[in-house]
């Protein structure tokens, strides 16, 4: 798979659900629907986000790490 293919599969903009609460000072975990399935990512946020809340991926910081924000209800 080429780099262009990886960028086409970016999780940015995808909706996910928090599976491990995201604290203010470290990562939690989110399950995001990408590539026809669901994948787990380490997730950081500006503010704590609780388990089972919906989030949107706003930035990919590595292949398995993302920055998320709460999904507006």
Percent of the chain with pLDDT over 70: 89
Count of the separate structural domains present in the chain? 1
| Cα–Cα distance for residue pair 20/1, rounded to 1 Å | 30
- Arithmetic mean of pLDDT over the chain: 89
With a CB cutoff of 8 Å and minimum separation 6, the contacts of 73 are none
Taking only the tens place, the pLDDT of each residue in 3-34 is 444 445 789 999 999 999 999 988 999 999 88
Asked whether the predicted pLDDT for residue 1 surpasses 90, the reply is no
Q: Looking at the whole model, is its pTM more than 0.75? A: yes
**Domain of residue 15, CATH code:** 2.40.50.140
Task: Give the domain range for residue 38.
Answer: 3-70
| Residues 48-52, mean pLDDT to the nearest whole number | 97
């Amino acid at each position: 798979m080429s780099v262009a293919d990886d960028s086409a599969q970016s999780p940015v903009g995808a909706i996910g659900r928090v599976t491990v609460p995201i604290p203010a000072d470290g990562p939690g975990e989110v399950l995001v629907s990408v590539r026809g399935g669901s994948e787990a990512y380490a997730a950081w946020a500006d503010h704590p986000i609780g388990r089972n809340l919906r989030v949107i991926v706003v930035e990919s910081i590595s292949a398995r790490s993302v920055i998320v924000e709460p999904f507006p209800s």
